């Protein structure tokens, strides 16, 4: 099963700036950890590099899966690497996989994900990475947990 996110999306669809999150919400990072702990997390190379820059290692407690077209890309032990989205999904099926970014990976996953964990951030942020356009009204809202500056929302379809 493919799960979109958890992903935090600003009001103007920004998900990143200079390969980093342009905001700091500790509750969102805690939720990300809780939802993905012990699970598979699939990400693009730039997302993986941003994690390495922040943590100096892959996400602990999760199977890190990286998509890159670079054939000689240096990957730490234990990290799985695939050259394209479809081969990764085929190799890992039927395992549960959380799609955690970036923008192109979200775009590829959106049509086939049936569950989404989204943090809707109420403000606009400057950015250079954007979540693909999606009509959340085409999804069923399973739950929402409002906070002052954002809302944790779960969708299914």
Which CATH number is 118's domain given?
3.40.430.10
- CA nearest to 66, candidates 94, 32, 41: 41
Residue 56, C-beta contacts closer than 8 angstroms, at least 6 positions apart: none
Residue 135, C-beta contacts closer than 8 angstroms, at least 6 positions apart: none
pLDDT of the chain, 157 residues: tens digit per residue: 899 999 999 999 999 999 999 999 999 999 999 999 999 999 999 999 999 999 999 999 999 999 999 988 888 889 999 999 999 999 988 889 999 999 999 999 999 999 999 999 999 999 999 999 999 989 999 999 999 999 999 999 9
Count the alpha carbons within 13 Å of 44 in the hemisphere toward its beta carbon.
14
Contact 146, 34 (CB under 8 A): no
| Domain region containing 96 | 2-156
Q: State the Cα–Cα distance between residues 151 and 144, nearest whole angstrom.
A: 7
Please give the DSSP secondary-structure letter assigned to residue 65: E
pLDDT at 99: 97
Q: State the Cα–Cα distance between residues 72 and 34, nearest whole angstrom.
A: 33
Rounded to the nearest 10°, the torsion over CA 60, 106, 86, 78 is -10
pLDDT at 13: 98
Q: State the Cα–Cα distance between residues 29 and 140, nearest whole angstrom.
A: 24
State the total domains in the chain.
Answer: 1
Distances (CA, A) of 11 to 92, 109, 110, 121, 125: 33, 21, 18, 6, 8
pLDDT at 80: 94
pLDDT at 75: 86
Q: State the Cα–Cα distance between residues 86 and 70, nearest whole angstrom.
A: 16
pLDDT at 72: 85
């Amino acid at each position: 099963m493919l799960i979109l996110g958890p992903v935090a999306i600003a009001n103007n669809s920004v998900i990143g700036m200079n390969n980093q999150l342009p905001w700091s919400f500790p509750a969102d990072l805690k939720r990300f950890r809780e939802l993905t702990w012990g699970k598979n997390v699939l990400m693009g190379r730039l997302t993986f590099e941003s994690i390495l820059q922040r943590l100096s290692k892959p996400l602990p407690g999760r199977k890190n899966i990286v998509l890159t077209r670079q054939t000689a890309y240096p990957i730490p032990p234990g990290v799985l690497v695939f050259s394209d989205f479809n081969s990764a999904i085929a190799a890992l099926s039927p395992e549960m996989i959380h799609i955690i970014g970036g923008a192109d990976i979200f775009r590829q996953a959106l049509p086939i994900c049936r569950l989404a964990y989204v943090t809707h951030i109420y403000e606009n942020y400057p950015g250079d990475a954007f979540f693909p356009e999606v009509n959340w009204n085409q999804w069923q809202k399973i739950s929402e947990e409002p906070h002052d500056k954002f809302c944790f929302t779960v969708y299914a379809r």
